[in-house]
Homo-oligomer: A and B are copies of this chain.
């Protein structure tokens, strides 16, 4: 690949992040705003984001809100400024942990709940029902395992993560 100018590279970054994110269930604009803020040295307001990404005010507002729900960006109130400014968390380890945490909450949590509900509703009084409960129980067990594994990974601090990372590299 030939040498790119910075602007071009940043645009490519934003585009890539947006495309990948949409492949795994996160909306494109949300990912684009996130990467824009990730790359921006200063915090930005809604108008700046609208101009940069060529999207509507409503869209910007809604996705900023979602990004705050995900814990990926922060609102910043600058003294003497009426407008709200937004900045992204730049520590990528924190970002990754935050994403893992949210996905755990959104994807694994509801699965565990649903399986518990199903368990409660069925009595294993026939072979058929036993078979059904076996599957529900298995899914429950695996989900709880995944939940616990992720939780313990997330609880352990950055140093642990990095040392693990180095260990894996050196094996």
- Chain A residues with CB under 8 Å of chain B are 1-4, 6, 9-10, 12-13, 16, 20, 23-25, 38-39, 41, 90, 92-93, 95-96, 103, 106-107, 110-111, 114, 117-118, 120-123, 126, 128-129, 131-132, 135-136, 138-139, 141-142, 145-146, 148-149, 152-153, 161, 164-165, 168-169
Contact = CB atoms under 8 A, between A and B. Distances in A.
A145 B93 CA distance: 10
Contact of A132 (B9, B93, B117, B129): B9
Contacts of A10: 132
Copies in the complex: 2
A128 B13 contact: no
Given A39-B135, A92-B139, A23 B25 contact: yes
B114 A9 contact: no
A105 to B, nearest CB: 12
23 contacts: A1-B121, A2-B121, A3-B123, A6-B122, A9-B122, A13-B132, A16-B118, A20-B107, A20-B110, A20-B114, A23-B106, A24-B107, A38-B135, A39-B132, A39-B135, A90-B135, A92-B141, A92-B142, A93-B138, A96-B142, A96-B146, A149-B164, A149-B168
